[in-house]
Amino acid sequence: MADQSDLTTLMRLARQGNEDAYRQVLGRVSLWLRSVVRREMVAAGRSAADCEDVVQETLLAMHLKRDTWDETQPLEPWLRAIARHKLVDHLRRRGYRDHVSIDDQAECLAAATDPDADARTDSRRLLESLPDRQRRIVEEISIEGRRAAEVAVRFGMSEGAVRVALHRALKALAALYRKGQS
Amino acid sequence: MRTASLIEALVADRAARGRPLARGLVGALVAGAAVSLALFLVEFGVRADIAEAFVTWRFEVKLAMVFLALALAYSLCVSLSRPVMSGRAAWRLAPLAALAVAAVAIELAMLPAAAWVARLVGSNAVVCLTTIPILAIAPLAAVLWFLRRGAPASPALAGAAAGLLAATAGASLYAFHCFDDSPLFVVTWYVLAALPVIALGAILGRRLLRW
The string of pLDDT tens digits covering residues A94-127 is 764 544 444 555 555 545 544 446 667 888 888 8
Q: Does B48 contact chain A (CB < 8 Å)?
A: no
Name the residue among A55, A61, A138 with its Cβ closest to that of B3. A55
Give residue A119's pLDDT.
Answer: 64
Cβ atoms within 10 Å, residue B199: 13
Give residue A100's pLDDT.
Answer: 47
Name the residue among A22, A59, A65 with its Cβ closest to that of B151. A65
pTM, full prediction = 0.86
Name the residue among A14, A30, A142 with its Cβ closest to that of B9. A142
Above 0.90 for ipTM, yes or no?
no
What percentage of residues in chain A have a pLDDT greater than 90?
Answer: 36
Cβ(B197)–Cβ(B133) below 8 Å: yes
Q: Which residue of A has its CA nearest to B154?
A: A85
Q: Does A17 contact chain B (CB < 8 Å)?
A: yes
The pLDDT-based confidence of A32 (bands split at 50, 70, 90) is very high
A166 and B24 in contact by Cβ < 8 A? no
Q: Does A156 contact chain B (CB < 8 Å)?
A: no
Q: Does A101 contact chain B (CB < 8 Å)?
A: no
A68 and B3 in contact by Cβ < 8 A? no
Mark the ranges of chain B whose per-residue pLDDT is less than 50: none
Q: Which residue of A has its CA nearest to B148?
A: A65
- Select from A137, A103, A108 the least CA-distant residue to A120: A108
Give residue B18's pLDDT.
Answer: 72
CB pairs under 8 A between A and B: 122
CA angle in degrees (0–180, nearest 5) for B155-A88-A122: 105
Give residue A1's pLDDT.
Answer: 42
- To the nearest whole Å, the CA of B2 is away from the closest chain A CA by 5
Q: Which residue has the higher pLDDT, B32 or A156?
A: B32
Give residue A118's pLDDT.
Answer: 63
Residue of A30, A68, A89 to mutate when probing chain B, most B C-beta within 10 A: A68
Residue type, A46: R
Exposure letters B152-180 (e unless 16+ CB within 10 A, then b) = bbbbbbbbbbbbbbbbbbbbbbbbbbbeb
- To the nearest whole Å, the CA of B25 is away from the closest chain A CA by 11
Give residue A117's pLDDT.
Answer: 60
Cβ(B56)–Cβ(B181) below 8 Å: yes
HSE (side-chain half, CA atoms, 13 Å) at A104: 14
B2 and A23 in contact by Cβ < 8 A? no
- To the nearest whole Å, the CA of B211 is away from the closest chain A CA by 7
- pLDDT, tens digit, for every residue of A41-88? 888 888 777 888 889 999 999 999 999 998 889 999 999 999 999 988
- pLDDT, tens digit, for every residue of B18-72? 778 899 999 999 999 999 999 999 999 999 899 888 889 999 999 999 999 999 9
